Amino acid sequence: MDIPALKRSLRHFFRQLWFQIGLALLIVVSVSLVLVELSLLEGSSEAQHLSQINRAFTVVFAVEMALRGFASPSKRQFLREYWLDVFAIVPILRPFRIVRVMRLVRSLRTSHWFGIVYRYAQAFPDVLRRGAMEYFLVFSLLVTTIVFSTAAILVFERNRNPQIETLADAFWYSLYSIFASEPIPDLPVSIVGRLISVFVMLMGMVTFAILTGTVSAFVIEQLRTKTMITEFEEFSGHMIICGWNKKAEIIAHEYRASRKNKRSPIVAIAQLEEEPTFSDPGLKSYVHFIDDDFTKVSVLEKAGIRRAKTCIILSDKSYGRTDRDADARTILAALTAEKLNRDVYTCAELINREYGSHLDMGHVNDYVVSEEQSGFLLAQAAINPGLLGIFSELLTYERGNQFYQISIPNSWVGQTFFDLFIYLKKTQNAILIAAYKKDGEFVVNPERYVFEFKDRVVAIAREEIDLQL
């Protein structure tokens, strides 16, 4: 028998979601039966029947623990992770069966409830989504503490404390104590009961501190951002950036540096783990953020995609997304933007060029394969040393010459590219480099080209060019 392969199969089996959820439900049933058994009189027929059922559960958990220990690559790591679960299947004496209640902690740990809560919380509005994990943690701590305290107080105080006779008495004692941070209605009689009361009060303070901190952070953030609420319905002719990283800040900075776009609003859509930082603090007040998923139609409409002039979609690899997932999100957002507004200029960033055909079929205006572009620039730098300095000047509006796109006025229709080249060089010290046809096709440095109606040209100049002069 291949022992290593068997161990790998067992580890894979234990990681299955359906197994973990089933195990969590089994733990909940087991803990419930333990509580019922503890509430019954010792020696009664009902208690004996429940004891046999609980022993069967213990055997199941013991087998599961044995298989986990066998499959674990490190026995020390296994004991460090599952010591409480091993301890929970050992006790035979009735007073120590309360340890089995701590299986609830394991059900929270092994069934990925936190991951499930996080995933489904993303579908809720922003107000409910914020702090969802912290609220679930507080709820889990409260439930586990109350259940454990109920079982322990019932075992150690019944027949000693006249105020604790039933499971309900122990439950209400635990509930009042954890919220009031003092034993209510009175101190337990036994030493163990008093220690448990201290534990319950401590857990009450911990959960209250977590809850207070979460709510306070949320309220402070709401108060801080209330004065920054943006009426996106008022935006028109603006630019939307989908995704946020260092490149997005450069895009926003260059967009505002362009004279014709200096007053145009910029809306950034991104799921941010924390408030973005800017290398240029002055840019922060001009970028309006929407903390949401840019692939959603409702989010794009909130950003004013139907009135936007430009939509830039960056490759988003946050939250551990693969290259394929990032490209899929880019394509979905680009096609959605084009569907909602055919007039918006959409430019997307891809990681793999092979997916560019999807954007072509969706009539997305442009796309950039980022790694290819950087590769081209490095290749040109190797072939033509010093060329990157020229590109650095042409690609920024901060200094020197830049690229400018100009619409051809009717007065130039019928004239040649060479005529305009000479005119621009003489009158505005600009260099004409390319022409755009009205159907979107472009030609760089054409030998012979006659301008037609609605043509555009690209020139290199130090400032905006006006052909109407």
* Nearest C-alpha neighbor of 134 from the set 213, 24, 220: 213
Instruction: Please check whether residues 90 and 149 belong to one and the same domain.
Output: no
Same domain for 300 and 254: yes
Quick one: 188 and 246 in the same domain?
Answer: no
**pLDDT band with cut points at 50, 70 and 90 for residue 222:** low
The pLDDT of residue 93 is above 60: no
- DSSP secondary structure, 107-152, as one string: HHHHTTHHHHHHHHHTTS-HHHHTTHHHHHHHHHHHHHHHHHHHHH
Q: Which residue has the higher pLDDT, 113 or 387?
A: 387
Token digits of residue 52: 């046999």
Q: Identify the residue with better confidence: 278 or 359.
A: 359
Q: Label residue 332 by pLDDT band (50, 70, 90).
A: very high
Number of domains in the chain: 4
pTM above 0.75, yes or no: no
Give the pLDDT score at 300.
93
Domain extent for 447: 401-469
Domain boundary among 166, 201, 229: 229
Q: Which two tokens stand for residue 237?
A: 């002719």
- On whether both 104 and 134 belong to a single domain, the answer is no
Place of tokens 């490209």: 327
Poorest-pLDDT segment among 183-187, 218-222, 231-235, 249-253: 218-222
DSSP 340: H
Burial of 209 (0-12, 13-18, 19+ CB in 10 A): exposed
At residue 454 the predicted structure's pLDDT band, cuts being 50, 70 and 90, is confident
CB-facing half-sphere around the CA of 402: CA atoms within 13 A: 17
What radius of gyration, in Å, describes the C-alpha atoms of the chain? 34
Task: Specify whether 302 is located in the same domain as 350.
Answer: yes
Residue 393 counted as domain residue: no
pLDDT per residue as tens digits for the range 33-48: 776 776 666 667 776 7
Interval 122-132 mean pLDDT: 57
pLDDT mean over 286-310: 91
